[in-house]
Structure 1
């Protein structure tokens, strides 16, 4: 789901004013746009349109990009182009935009003549065009750099990943099995405001439909999943065949319904499953493997958290659902875990990922097979999506590192200890003041800059703690 390259349209803007003076200018600048696309080939699959020299050209190009289901539009000034030709276009833009403030030659030399001035005059076209974007209320990113450098490719790649994540987010459906946890206030939000402002929508799925789907699954697909688990995990011999088959049917049933309803993220609540009366156990291992396949997930019916896990997976790599369990002041860290759901793609490389038989009183059901691991030590980032009321949303982000801390043998859940770069005290004071929620996504690596670009494009307030 989340490992394909971003697919970006390159919109090169110029005008026909200079054709008489420089008859070859359109072809020359078109070649320059193609060279820029080739420079970006490691970070995005680029579709380069012919130079847009009029309002009709620009609007036709962007319609083609939208119809091709691209992730975003990279705007390059091939010469100066008057912004009124693209003003209406930007007021109706549906795809994320980045304005690349670049020029063919990196330096001004004594050899330059009027032709060189014309080829390299993109900066004042960028100013006029950016002014039109601002007046149109368009959220956009800007990159000023030498185009034929790694720094340019890296920076555009960051925007392209954010564009890919945001474009997917705007059409996201989050399946909720049952209902959200009663009384959990930081997960509450206005569904209409969420879809208007950001795009994700909620699709409620009755637990009874999941139960029926489980029963209709053919035995061979269940066996296939169990065989795959035998090869991937260290499987607890205490798990019975019946326990594993029931868990497998839960996982396959959830994925079948997510596919049927077009949901790329979901949430289950233990009470909604437990109170139904037809289920034997909670789908713990299912959440872990579905996250590893690229689905967004959150517990307790938390749509906001499931949405941000989905965004994190597409923006940064594998998204790991977690929460802050307890502070450890001697190591200046926070124990991160949840009831038993976690993306095993972020597990340590030097320990096996285990599928265990694990007692769990929550839900008043039988023991749920659970995937257990410790999070890989190294740089990591937490992100929490906060509903502020109306159509205002905030993303609270903390960079830090997962410590190579001693094991906690009695903790039969995915876990790790996260040390914020600002320290536990300062981080938590700022997190709480910002209204950061108790469910969040963890991504490996320092990803605050990626999240900041995402927020810029999405119109979300970015708050780093």
Structure 2
């Protein structure tokens, strides 16, 4: 079980009824406890599954659903119908339920006991009947849920539950995320803007503006001793590379970056924030040459890189949607090996069937995806209100399959878009002073990039090597937002049809409310 999820639980509720007598319920209870114990001992599901007993009546269902809503440790409920469980008794409880739901269509015994099979056994082990009845009422009530079908001891079924459990934890965390915008989003940029009120109503994230001038109050209080101690950490964790700036300027800029990191950390901690955005046009005092200057020498890129690696959501140029989505991606990915990052589409490389897109940013790419130990470098950054040399981590990414994702505001709804990509090894780029990744959109550059554009995708994304589109599908299902995926099977004409059908669905859905 992943240590990061120790404060969370998944509740297991078994559906039954008293028609078959008390002895049957005792057997149902015993089987359920064994199954829950087996899931917890599998080593696959990262969150502890807690058995909450059998539900034999409408009142018992209602009580357990209300208890789940009020328990902060509970991030979701798994239901399974051991016997026939009349679905009308689930109505009130499902109406009350506010936590993610997974319906597990399984059975205690793997095979039918052919030689001893009798009516008692068949009545007791009636999941084929009970789960269909339960599924019907969920569909009639339009209850969003994940349905997993398979034997409870099989790794394939357990892995589907594990995906949902991670996503449920991410959804629970999202409801407590506060994202601070240090400055607003870039002027006239549509894709990084949107409806923050609806965003919180639908996805849970709370986004606030925070004045850079207020952060400067923290900046002023950072001591030289604290800066020195953090610089020593940098020396241990990264390869020191003093380049064209010279040693004196190099260490001055590294110290400036350390001071910015300390100040930023303290603001986030004091404000209870787990995500933030920056903007290179809002960095404190405008004139760096004034004797009483108070501000960053450039955007706090090194701080952003390091904070992302620790799970703090980040979005550049005021992109609060990507900042929040990255936070959720990091939560979902805890304990997985390969890493995640904020990334931006930068420049294209046309090379036939290996045509690709270089991903990077001015500074802020997370070192979790680095193939080698990152280099701590200082280079000039000539963009924004303050054109100065500044520190950053430079590296290239690992190779392998991955997935990018973004959330866009379409006015009448939010759309989550994911795309499978293949990260490939780039040719040497000795003059590129930032971190980067090179990937081939799936199924081909032409189809994949075109589909992303047709879907209204952003130039920023939350990227991961470890998760799959199943995670994002579960995330969208739980939150009730639109989801479209681009993968090796995508065909342009069919993808266009899906977008058109979705548009009609959401327009009608809004009209019928």
Flag whether TM exceeds 0.5 (same fold).
Answer: yes
2:49 aligns with one of 23, 28, 46:
46
* Superposition pairs of residues 209-220 of structure 1, within 5 angstroms: 209-220=214-225
Q: TM-score when scaled to structure 2?
A: 0.85
In 1, Cα distance between the equivalents of 2:15 and 2:38? 14
| Structure 2 contact 63–93 (Cα < 8 Å) conserved | no
Corresponding residue of 1:69? 73
Q: Alpha carbon RMSD of aligned pairs, Å?
A: 2.1
Q: TM-score when scaled to structure 1?
A: 0.93
Structure 2 SS opposite 1:50: strand
Corresponding residue of 2:291? none
| Structure 2 contact 356–439 (Cα < 8 Å) conserved | yes
TM-superposed CA distance for 1:135, in Å, is 3.2
| Residues 241 and 311 of structure 1: CA distance in aligned 2, closer, same or farther (over 3 Å) | same
1:369 aligns with one of 351, 370, 391:
391
In 1, Cα distance between the equivalents of 2:91 and 2:225? 57
Pairs aligned (count): 462
Corresponding residue of 2:5? 4
Corresponding residue of 1:245? 255
2:361 aligns with one of 329, 335, 338:
338
In 2, Cα distance between the equivalents of 1:106 and 1:254? 55
1:407 aligns with one of 425, 428, 443:
428
Structure 2 SS opposite 1:186: coil
Corresponding residue of 1:96? 100
Q: What stretches of structure 1 of length at least 5 have no aligned partner?
A: none
Instruction: Report runs of 4+ in structure 1 exceeding 4 Å deviation.
Output: 274-277
* Superposition pairs of residues 388-407 of structure 1, within 5 angstroms: 388-390=410-412, 392-407=413-428
Higher relative contact order (CA 8 A, sep 6+): 1
Asked if 1:354 corresponds to 2:357, the answer is no
2:329 aligns with one of 312, 326, 335:
312
In 2, Cα distance between the equivalents of 1:133 and 1:275? 57
Asked if 1:281 corresponds to 2:303, the answer is no
In 1, Cα distance between the equivalents of 2:91 and 2:25? 27
* Superposition pairs of residues 36-435 of structure 1, within 5 angstroms: 36-43=38-45, 44-66=47-69, 67-110=71-114, 111-237=116-242, 238=247, 239-273=249-283, 276=286, 278-279=294-295, 280-317=297-334, 318-330=339-351, 331-348=354-371, 351-363=372-384, 364-390=386-412, 392-435=413-456
Per-residue CA distance 1:380-416 (angstroms, 9 max, x = gap)? 11111111113x1112211121102222111111101
2:463 aligns with one of 427, 431, 442:
442
| Structure 1 contact 32–104 (Cα < 8 Å) conserved | no
| Residues 222 and 64 of structure 1: CA distance in aligned 2, closer, same or farther (over 3 Å) | farther
Q: What stretches of structure 2 of length at least 5 have no aligned partner?
A: 288-293, 487-513
TM-superposed CA distance for 1:27, in Å, is 3.6
In 1, Cα distance between the equivalents of 2:123 and 2:107? 10
